[in-house]
Structure 1
Amino acid sequence: MTTLHNPKTWDISDSDNDGDAAQGDLKCTSRAKLALAPPRSDGYERPSPKTKRRSQEEMDADKEKARERKEARERRRAAKELEKEEKRKQQQKRKEAAEHLNSLKPENCLKCLTVCIDPALLQQEGSDILLGTLSSCEWRYSIEQQQLPNSITWTRDLPQQGEDGGATVEEDQVVQVLGATEFLDMVITVKKTIDSEGEDSALSRNAVKVVTLLVTESQPDYRRCGHETIQSKYGVENLDVDEVLVYLQLYKNMSVVFLDGWQEVTDHICMVTKSLSKRPLKLLTDKAELPFCVDGSWASGVRVEKDGSGLKQVWSKQIQQLNRVSPAVASCVTAAHKSPQLLLQAYQASGSEEDKKRLLADLVVKSEGKDRRIGPEISARVYRCFTTQNPELVLD
Structure 2
Amino acid sequence: MSRLKRAKTWEISDSEGEDDVKHTGARDEDVEQERAPRTYTRTEDPATRSPRTERRVEERRSAREKERWERERVKEERRHAQQRRKEEAERVKSLKPENFLKSLTVRIHPVLLQDPGCDVLLVSLEGLEWSSRLEEHALTHSISWTRQPQDDDGTVVEEDQVLMVVSQEEFVVMVTSIKQALIGESDVVASLFQPLSKYLKRNRGTVISLLVTGDHRHQCGLLSGGGGHDACLRSQLALPDVDIEEVLVYLQLCKNVSVHFVLSWEDVTDHVCAITKALSKRPFKALCEASVLGFCVDGSWAGGARVERCGRGLAQVWLRQIQQLNRVSVSMAAAVTTAFPSPHLLLQAYENAESEEQRRTLLADLTVMGGAKERRLGPELSNRLYRLMTSQNSQLVLD
In structure 1, which of residues 118, 139, 150 is the aligned counterpart of residue 131 of structure 2? 139
Q: Secondary structure at the match of 1:160?
A: coil
What is the one-letter code of the residue matched to 1:327?
A: A
1:184 Cα deviation from its structure 2 partner: 3.8
**Could you tell me which residue of structure 1 aligns to residue 343 of structure 2?**
337
- Cα distance between partner residues in 1 of 2:305 and 2:154: 37
Residues 231-285 of structure 1, C-alpha deviations (whole Å, 9 max, x = no match): 7972424x87578667766774514140324x54345423432332233234434
Q: Is the 8 A contact 2:103 2:148 kept in 1?
A: yes
Q: How far apart, in 1, do the equivalents of 2:233 and 2:259 lie?
A: 25
2:260 maps to a residue whose letter is V
Structure 2 Cα separation of the partners of residues 229 and 107 of structure 1: 36
Secondary structure of the equivalent of 2:162?
A: strand
TM-aligned CA deviation for residue 91 of structure 1: 0.9
Partner secondary structure for residue 323 of structure 1: coil
Aligned match of 2:81: 90
CA drift at 1:303: 5.0
| Separation in 1, partners of 2:396, 2:158 | 38
CA RMSD of aligned residues (A): 5.4
Q: Matches of 1:324 and 1:53 in 2, distance apart? A: 84
| Contact 1:110/1:274 (8 A) holds in 2 | yes
Q: Which residue of the other structure, out of 69, 83, 98, is the alignment partner of 1:78?
A: 69
* Residues 156 and 221 (structure 1), Cα distance of their counterparts in 2 relative to 1, 3 Å cut: farther
SS state at 2:137 partner:
coil
1:127-154 per-position Cα deviation (integer Å, ceiling 9, x unaligned): 45545654662514351323x4311111
2:304 equivalent to 1:302 = yes
Cα distance change on mapping 1:260 and 1:382 into 2, 3 Å: same
Q: Deviation per CA, 1:288-343, whole angstroms, max 9, x where unpaired? A: 6667755742x475157899x87775554242132144231452587463499x79
* 2:287 is aligned with 1:284: yes
Amino acid at match of 1:181: E
The structural deviation recorded for 1:113 is 1.3
Q: Distance in 2 between matches of 1:98 and 1:211?
A: 34
SS at match of 1:302: coil
Match among 322, 327, 352 for residue 323 of structure 1:
327
Aligned counterparts of 1:264 and 1:232: Cα–Cα separation in 2: 18
Answer yes or no: is the 8 Å Cα contact 1:159–1:166 preserved in 2.
no
Counterpart residue identity of residue 148, structure 2: D
Displacement after TM superposition at 1:158 (Å): 2.2
Q: Which letter does structure 1 place at the counterpart of 2:208?
A: V
Q: Kindly provide the amino acid, as one letter, of the partner of residue 280 in structure 1.
A: P
Contact 2:142 2:165 in 1 (8 A): yes
Q: Which residue does 2:100 correspond to in 1?
A: 109
The C-alpha deviation readout for 1:200-256, integer Å capped at 9, x for no partner, is 99678998443322222325999469799987972424x875786677667745141
Alignment-mate amino acid for residue 323 of structure 1:
R
- Tell me how far 1:67 sits from its aligned partner: 2.2
Specify the alignment match of 1:23 in structure 2.
none
Which of 171, 181, 186 is matched with 2:169 structurally? Answer: 181
Asked if the contact 2:164–2:208 (Cα under 8 Å) also holds between the matched residues in 1, the reply is yes
Secondary structure of the residue that 1:211 maps to in structure 2?
strand
Q: How does the TM-score come out when normalised to structure 1?
A: 0.60
Give the corresponding residue for 1:41: none
Structure 2 counterpart of 1:108, one-letter code = N
Residue 81 and residue 228 in structure 1: after superposition, are their counterparts in 2 closer, same or farther (change >3 A)? closer
1:171 equivalent to 2:159? Answer yes
Amino acid at match of 1:302: G
Q: Identify if the C-alpha distance between structure 1 residues 290 and 243 changes in structure 2 by more than 3 Å, giving closer, same or farther.
A: farther
Among 227, 234, 238, the residue aligned to 1:234: 238
The structure-2 alpha-carbon separation of the partners of 1:63 and 1:324, relative to structure 1 and needing over 3 Å to count, comes to: closer
The separation in 2 between residues aligned to 1:116 and 1:228, in whole angstroms, is 30
CA contact (8 A) 2:168 2:237 kept: no
Unaligned runs of 5+ in 2: 1-39, 185-192, 224-230
CA distance in 1, matches of 2:222, 2:176: 17
- Counterpart AA for 2:272: I
Distance 1:114 1:228, change over 3 A: closer
Shift in Å at residue 72 of structure 1?
Answer: 2.2
- Counterpart Cα distance in 2 of 1:389 and 1:194: 56
Q: What is the letter of the counterpart of residue 139 of structure 1?
A: S
Pair 1:248–1:311, CA change in 2 (3 A):
farther
Could you tell me the percent identity over the aligned residues?
38
Instruction: Determine if contact 2:368/2:377 at 8 Å carries over to the other structure.
Output: no
Select the residue among 145, 149, 152 that pairs with 2:140: 149
**1:218 correspondence with 2:212:** no
TM-score (norm 2): 0.60
> 1:376: which partner in 2?
379
Does the 8 Å contact 1:293/1:303 carry over to 2? Answer: no
User: Which residue matches 1:265?
Assistant: 268
Check whether the contact 1:116–1:154 (CA below 8 A) recurs between aligned residues: yes
1:1-12 matches, within 5 Å, as none
State the AA in 2 paired with 1:214: L
Give the letter aligned to residue 277 of structure 1: S
Letter in 1 for 2:273: C
The alpha-carbon deviation at position 82 of structure 1 amounts to 0.8
Aligned-partner Cα distance in 2 for 1:312–1:380: 22
CA separation of 1:67 and 1:231: change in aligned 2, threshold 3 A: closer
Q: Secondary structure at the match of 2:80?
A: helix
One-letter identity of the residue aligned with 1:275: A
Contact 2:212 2:259 in 1 (8 A): no
Question: Cα–Cα, structure 1 residues 320 and 218, in superposed 2: closer, same or farther, change >3 Å?
Answer: same
Cα pair distance change 1:100/1:195, threshold 3 Å: same
- Which is higher, the Rg of structure 1 or of structure 2? 1
2:108–2:132 Cα contact (<8 Å) kept: no
